[in-house]
Structure 1
């Protein structure tokens, strides 16, 4: 299963996976508006992969089959101040 990967120019570290290159018909318009003009990054053969760097390969395959696309969002940023307070027993305001 080949898959085309696109990077968002509007949202950092946000990627869109499609089963066909340049076929955006299954992606909802509000999502495309938020994503911005997609920048092609690469083609991946999911059949030869056992894992992906930041996405669950089985979920990617499932959503490509079910929805016609997969949206990879960046991992949530950790709040270092909250983490420091938690580790040092400081109560939140």
Structure 2
């Protein structure tokens, strides 16, 4: 399976994977309006052995097969970074 990856220029660190190059009609209109404009970043082959930095490749393949698109949102911080020990006495 092949995926075409686009970056939202409106929402930071938000990416759209499409099953078809420039297949924006697969995105619901409301979602398209929230994320547009979308800039093409790269295309990749989603093989069963492929790993992705922030997404489960099996989930991406499933979403592409059933919906024609997959959304990758920015990572969320699991903990508050202000509660870490920064090695200071302050």
- 1:45-81 Cα shifts (integer Å, max 9, x gaps): 1127521111100000000011110000011134323
Task: Tell me which protein shows more strand as a share of its residues.
Answer: 2
The TM-score normalised by the length of structure 1 is 0.81
Instruction: Measure, in 1, the Cα distance between the counterparts of 2:37 and 2:50.
Output: 30
Aligned to 2:61: 61
Aligned to 2:2: 2
Residues 8-47 of structure 1 aligned to structure 2 (within 5 Å): 8-47=8-47
Runs of at least 5 residues in structure 1 that lack an aligned partner in the other structure? 88-93
The TM-score normalised by the length of structure 2 is 0.84
Across the aligned residues of Structure 1 and Structure 2, the Cα RMSD in angstroms comes to: 1.8
Kindly report structure 1 stretches of 4+ aligned residues shifted beyond 6 Å: none
Equivalences, count: 84
Task: Tell me which protein shows more helix as a share of its residues.
Answer: 1
The reply on whether 1:79 has 2:80 as its aligned counterpart is yes
- 1:9-60 Cα shifts (integer Å, max 9, x gaps): 0011100000111011110011111111110000101127521111100000
